[in-house]
Amino acid sequence: MTQRPLRRAPGQGFGMYPDSVFNLQEGDDLHPQLVKQARSSGQLNLSNRGLVCVPDKVWTLMELTKEEEETLRKGVSLETSSQENWWDHVELTKLILACNKISSISSQISNLVSLTILDLHDNQLSDLPTQMSALTNLRKLNLSHNRLKNLPEGFSELRELRNLQLNNNHLEKLEDWISDLSMLNHLDLSNNHLTSLPSNIGFLVQLTHLILSKNNLESLPSELAFMRALVSLDCTSNQLKSIPKDMQELHHLELVYLRHNQLTRVPCLKLCTQLKELQLGSNRISEVSLEDIENIPNIRTLELRDNKIKTLPDQITGLQLLERLDVSNNDLSTLPFTLGVLPHLKTLQVEGNPMKAIRRDIIARGTAGLLKYLRSRLEEDQIAELAKAGTGNVSPVPPDSPTIPDKFTMRSSQVVNLSKKGLTDIPGEAVENALEAKVNAVDASKNLISIFPESLLDLLPLLFELNLSSNKLSSVPSWIQVGAKLQFLDLSNNKLQQLPEEMGELKHLREIVLSFNQLSSIPPSLCRCGKLETILIANNKIAQLDVEALSALGQLAVLDLQNNAIESVPPELGNLTQLRALQLEGNLFRMPRPAVLVQGTGAVLSYLRDRIPK
C-alpha cells in the first residue's frame, strides 16, 4: 500500500478555527471561497490561521486563473453559481494577516497599491521589503509585536499614513525620514529599545497621540514643542531626568504620562492649560513647590505616588479643578488642611506615608472622612477666605494656537487656520506665509471680521476652500471672482443681504453655505455657477423662489431652505428631479402640508409635480 505523505502540523491555537485549511501553511493558493469574498468586498482577513508564510495568491488576488482566462476566451461571462462576475471585482483595500507565524513578506506586496489598511501584528517579522514603499494609499499600518530592528527607508513614501503602530519590536533607532510621514496622527513606539529620538520628529505637526513608553530614552528633543496638535504623550518607563521647558507650548496637551523615570521635580507645563492628567509616580521627586502648583493650574488628576515628597504646600488650593490626588508611598508626615476645601476633590490616596500628625483611623475612613477631618482643622473665616481666593485661580484657556500658524504647519496641512482668534482682519504676515506654503484653504471662522479682508486678494486665486462663517460681514466684494478655483465657500452666520453678480464667475463652486444671514432671495448670481451641488441657505428672509433660475443648476442635489419666509412653493420645483435633499420646514406656506414634508424629498417633489397645471 502506498504511504500517504504526512501533512504539516498546525500551529498553536489552530484548533480554535475549524475553517482553517492545512495547506495555507505552505503558502499555496487561497481557498476559492476566500478569493471570491475578497474580490467582491475588497477585504481579506487571514488572521489566526497558523500561517508560516503568506499564500502566494494574496499578492495576485486580482489576476485571473487559467480556468477563468479560458472561460473568458470562449466568450462566456465568468459566472459562478453565486453570480460572481469578473467585472464586479474591486481592488483589495484591507488586508489582515495578524496573529500568525509569518517571518517574511514578499516583494510582490507592491502589487497591492490600493491598500488603505494593513495589519501584520503578532508575527515573526524581522525585516520588511523595500517594495512596501509602493503602498502609497496606506492610512493604517499595524506592525506591533514582531521582531523588527529597523524599517526600510522606503517607508518615507507612505505619506498618507494616519496610524502607525510599531510597539513591541526591537527598534534601536528612529530614522530622520520619520518626519516625511507628515499626516500621522497616532504613533506608537512603545516597548522597543530606543535611546533617543531624531530632532525632526517635531515636524509631525498633525500628531495627536505619541506613545514612547518602555524604551531607554534619556531625554526628549525640544522640537517636540512643534507638535502643536499633540493631545496625549506617554513616556512611561524610560530614563528621563527632565522634560524640555519648550513643551509647555503644547496648548492642546491633555494627558501626560511620565511614571517610572528619573525626574527630580514636577515639569513646567504652565502654558498647557488644557492639561487634565499628569502622572509622575515612581520618580525621584522630593519637593512640590508653590511654583509647581502654579504651573499646572487646571489639572484634574495628579499622580505623585512612589516618590520622596516630604511636604505639600498650603497653596495646593490653587488646583481648583483637582479631582484625584495620589501621594501614596512618599515621606509625608502630614497633609495641608487646605486640601479639605478643594471643591472637586473626590479621591485622595495617602497610604504608605509615615503620617505623624494624622491618626491611622482617620486615614482609614477614606477620602470623604479624611477631607472632612482636614476641613475641620480650619477656622470658618479661613475656609471662607480660601474659597473666595480659590475662584480666581483657574487660568483662562488661551486661543487654540498662535494667531499666525507657522509655515511648516501650513505646508503640511495646506490650510491657514485662523479660527477663533478674535481677528478683525486677516494679518498680512499670515497671507505671505500662506502664499509661500501654497495653501489651498483658509479658515477664518468665528472672528470679528466686518469687512471682507482685502489681504485675501492675492491668496484667493489659489484657494479651493474659504470659510468666513460666524463673522460680521455685511457684503462680499466684486473681486471675489478672482477665486476661480473655489469649490467650497462658507459665509454662514454673517449679516449679508445680497451677493454680487460676480459670484457667477465661480465656475467650479460646488457648495455654498449662506445660512443665518439676511438674504431675501436666492442670489441670482449663484444660478450661473454651473457645478453647484449644494446650497445651504436656511434661516434667512427668503419669501419667493425663482424656479426657472434654479433649473439652470443641473447638478444641484441639496437645497436647504428651512426657516425662511416662503409663502408658497411653486409646483414647478417638483421638476428638479436631480434633488436628493430638499428641506422646506419652518416656512409660512400651508401647502405642502407637514405630513407630506416628513415623507422626504421624493414625496415632496412628486406632490409638487402632481400640482403643475396641465
Q: What is the CATH number of the domain that holds 211?
A: 3.80.10.10
The pLDDT, as a whole number, for residue 169 is 97
Burial per residue of 253-289, b for 16 or more beta-carbon CB atoms within 10 angstroms, e otherwise: bbbbbbbbbebebbbbbbbbbbbbbbbbbbbebeebe
pLDDT of 9: 42
Q: Do 300 and 358 belong to one domain?
A: no
User: Residue 161: pLDDT band by 50, 70, 90 thresholds?
Assistant: very high
pLDDT at 24 over 80: no
Listed in sequence order, the DSSP H helices in 504-571 are 547-550
Write down the pLDDT at residue 382.
Answer: 66
The helix (H) or strand (E) run that includes residue 210 is strand 209-211
How far out from the chain centre does Cα 6 lie? 51
Same domain? 319 vs 197: no
pLDDT at res. 177: 87
Looking at the predicted structure, is the pLDDT value of residue 397 above 90?
no
Kindly report the pTM of this predicted structure.
0.61
* Among the listed residues 586, 467, 573, 490, the one whose alpha carbon sits nearest the alpha carbon of residue 538: 586
Res 285: pLDDT: 95
Predicted local distance difference test score (pLDDT) of residue 273: 81
pLDDT at residue 12 in the model: 41
Last residue of a domain, one of 396, 422, 444: 396
- If asked whether residues 520 and 542 sit together in one domain, one would say yes
pLDDT of residue 377: 84
Residue 151 in this model has a pLDDT that exceeds 80: yes
- For residues 507 and 530, membership in a common domain is answered with yes
Q: In what order do the strands lie in the sheet with 558-560?
A: 415-417, 441-443, 465-467, 488-490, 511-513, 534-536, 558-560, 581-583
Task: Let me know if residue 290 belongs to a domain.
Answer: yes
Confidence (pLDDT) at 228: 83
Buried/exposed code over 339-367 (b: 16+ C-beta within 10 A; e: otherwise): bbbbeebeebbbeebebeebeeeebeeee
Report yes or no: 430 and 407 within 8 Å, Cβ to Cβ. no
Taking the C-alpha atoms of residue 28 and residue 54, their distance in angstroms, rounded to an integer, is 8
- For residue 85, the model assigns a pLDDT of 61
Is the pLDDT assigned to residue 80 strictly greater than 80? no
Give CB contacts under 8 A, 24+ apart, made by 23-30.
24/49, 24/50, 24/51, 24/55, 25/50, 25/51, 25/52, 25/53, 26/53, 27/52, 27/53, 27/54, 27/55, 27/56, 28/55, 28/56, 28/57, 29/55, 29/56, 29/57, 30/55, 30/57, 30/58
Domain termination site, one of 343, 374, 396: 396
Q: What percent of the chain has pLDDT over 90?
A: 53
Write out the three cell numbers for 140. Answer: 493604517
Residue 4 lies inside a defined structural domain of this protein: no
**pLDDT at site 438:** 86
- Judged by average pLDDT, the poorest of 211-215, 340-344, 379-383 is 379-383
pLDDT at 31: 83
Q: Is residue 272 over pLDDT 80?
A: yes
Q: Judge whether 542 and 561 are in contact, CB under 8 Å.
A: yes
Q: Give the span between the Cα atoms of 435 and 472, in whole angstroms.
A: 25
pLDDT of residue 23: 39
Confidence check: pLDDT of 357 > 80: yes
C-alpha cell at 17: 478555527
Distances (CA, A) of 129 to 106, 108, 109, 285, 520: 7, 9, 8, 46, 63
| Predicted local distance difference test score (pLDDT) of residue 3 | 44
Cell numbers standing for residue 10: 498546525
Q: What does the pLDDT read at residue 7?
A: 38
* Residues 332 and 461 grouped into a single domain: no
Q: Do 155 and 283 fall within a single domain?
A: yes
pLDDT band at 74 (very low <50, low <70, confident <90, very high): low
**Domain end residue (candidates: 311, 339, 360):** 311
Domain extent for 567: 407-609
Q: Is residue 590 part of a domain?
A: yes
- With 60 as the cut, is the pLDDT of residue 8 above it? no
Q: Are 563 and 584 in contact (CB under 8 A)?
A: no
Considering the domain architecture, whether residues 169 and 48 belong to the same structural domain is answered as yes
Q: Is the peptide bond before 592 cis (omega within 30 degrees of 0)?
A: yes
DSSP β-ladder status, 255-257 and 301-303 = unpaired
User: Does pLDDT of 83 surpass 80?
Assistant: no
How many folded domains does the chain comprise? 3
Average pLDDT over residues 403-419: 74
**Low-confidence winner among 105-109, 317-321, 399-403 (lowest mean pLDDT):** 399-403
Q: Report the chain's mean pLDDT, rounded to a whole number.
A: 85
Q: Classify residue 242: in a domain, yes or no.
A: yes
Q: What is the pLDDT of residue 402?
A: 44
479 and 336 in a common domain:
no
Residue 473 within any structural domain of the chain: yes
* Residue 125 within any structural domain of the chain: yes
pLDDT above 50 for 101: yes
**Residue 156 within a domain:** yes
Question: What is the DSSP-derived secondary structure letter of residue 311?
Answer: -
Per-residue confidence band for 475, with pLDDT thresholds at 50, 70 and 90: very high
Q: Which residue has the higher pLDDT, 122 or 362?
A: 122
Query: Could you tell me if 525 and 569 lie in one domain?
Result: yes
pLDDT of the residue at 251? 84
pLDDT tens digits, 596-613: 888 888 889 999 999 888
In this model, does residue 78 exceed pLDDT 60? no
**Higher per-residue pLDDT: 1 or 356:** 356
Mean pLDDT lowest among 71-80, 92-101, 144-153:
71-80
pLDDT tens sequence across 40-59: 889 999 999 999 999 998 99
Q: Which of 8-22, 118-132, 364-378 ranks highest by mean pLDDT?
A: 118-132
**Does 332 lie in the same domain as 222?**
no
Per residue in 443-464, pLDDT (tens digit) is 999 999 999 999 899 899 999 8
Q: Is residue 251 part of a domain?
A: yes
Percent of the chain with pLDDT over 70: 86
pLDDT classification of 387: cutoffs 50, 70, 90:
low
Read off the amino acid at residue 601. Answer: T
221 lies in the same domain as 283: yes
Q: What is the mean pLDDT of residues 567-591?
A: 89
467 and 434 inside one domain: yes
Question: If you average pLDDT over residues 199-228, what whole number do you get?
Answer: 91
